[in-house]
Structure 1
């Protein structure tokens, strides 16, 4: 691939994913170059949409894509499916009659028009009247401005999107101000209430997670742990008998599954199922992000000299947002899990042989390209290999969630 692409979720009021903003840069660049925005977006469309497929990137949700003036005027957007993209107009664009006409044409054809990093200026007024969504950067604006923007907009059909919402408090604040969409990492933060215990079913799940990940657990113990929970046994066998594995003969028992897949693979699937159950009352994106990180770490292992530790890197990813699933401090949860000290250290940001890998995964996920390049160099990882690994991880996570929904 000639383009590095990551994504950031955009949520509605119910904290369900409405779409993803695509974060990208060209290979060989340290960051997004506004002067070469035409080429960057063109490469993104060519590589990511035509070669990979939009479904792989967004799971069928809308892709929010930055469009430059030139790309607007050359009708590039019309090659994309209107029900799966949102056309973002950057605040740096030169607004004139040609740009307004191009946006009006897109609007008439049913494309979603989004104004990015919006500030009220007279030159933007014609675009405000065409906009479906207006994005307001919560890091760049004061509370009074955020309220004023919603009040002053003379377009009753436009919805407002709060961008860079990093805490639950900011989410609640934006909600009360009349914002309809929310972008940022607020969803991944736990809501910790001092003195509150885990609810009954989550506590039960957590005990299974502890038992199944014990390093001294043998085949018989793992089988007994899984068989104790009928729903867990049912889902595990459903997964293993799916097309994902393609076994010619049906796997009919937990013991059979352990023999065919091996203990590490079964532990991996049990952990996935358990965490999914724990997050039943949480936004799906927490689980999706966790699974992407897990698979991303597992696939990266051979390229950073850790082929024999891929299972650890998978667990590192899958447990990386367990605090948000349980609304409990990460340090307290990690302390109770029978996983390696290196996994614990990486998740807590402490010295660990896995810390650089974990930071590489997070920096790529967030589109922090400078940090990503730094960690890739430190690990001796060829950067060009990573976009394919990330896309493969997103596809794998989507298949897991699709399969999981099918067995409920």
Structure 2
């Protein structure tokens, strides 16, 4: 069992309150273990890491993510038009005052607005250059710290014909809250209510084994989910990340995920494509570990088919084999990982307790794996050894194909 590493800083979150002082949303803020700021690493990279941690991080503090979240997104990120791998109904994109609202930028905002995304004008200073963005804004956030309340209220009244929700941020005293409450502000944020709190968790490492191959396949409009599921299944780290994303608050469905096919079906090809682009910014691989877990996963699948396990087509056994390796690949206890995703009880019990029909196949796969490693092949049934060899050849072929695809792509 891999030794548990300390939890990483995923982000910070600060709640947003309505006029009844109930939490209705939260702003997500970039934070890092090394205390680098957004300006140290660049706004585009900060946006990338924040979205990545939001989708793939495993954290106990999940209450904020069950509500609407406000996220600062850089101008470059928006203008790329290839990112934003989150459903529009769950997020509000904050446009910070540092952005220069050029014609090209406004066109990008309009593009995402037509896709259903909502926008907040952050630290709004009532500059005429920003008025062209008001028709796309659902929220206006006013920085109250050091502001002249009467001046703010006068300018707010001048824009009263816009159907926007007004948010007073950086409220630090009861008196400030009363002023903006009486002025008709709808939402409130600041130290008077709650300071930003750090969200700690385990970050799933990016993977590149199948990145280039899948990205190439996704450029083909006729690619099928079955074909993509086969490619994703070939990379354990990638399968883990996509499984976590599919079960994040942004995508979580009512039915449990039973296979990689289900993961892709839930995300959809468009969001899969966007997440793959983010993985391309943050990629990594570990061949030896991938070979081991791929062998185990395929062996579980072969054993399940050989034993004709009732109600199983093999895909669920493959997923059990993959998920049994999170301790080795990601240094996360399987039980911790299982708690963060929505899988069936049969799969969860198989991975954590090695119980049930699927658990029996995993237990047998581990036994075969151990006998081979210790060169005790005489303890194995010949048919088991043959299945292991098939699984091993499959794993090596898949890794080799992935490396060839990556080399040809680069």
TM range (shorter): 0.3 to 0.5
From the CA coordinates, give the structure whose radius of gyration is larger.
Answer: 2
TM-score, with length taken from structure 2: 0.43
TM-score by length of 1: 0.44
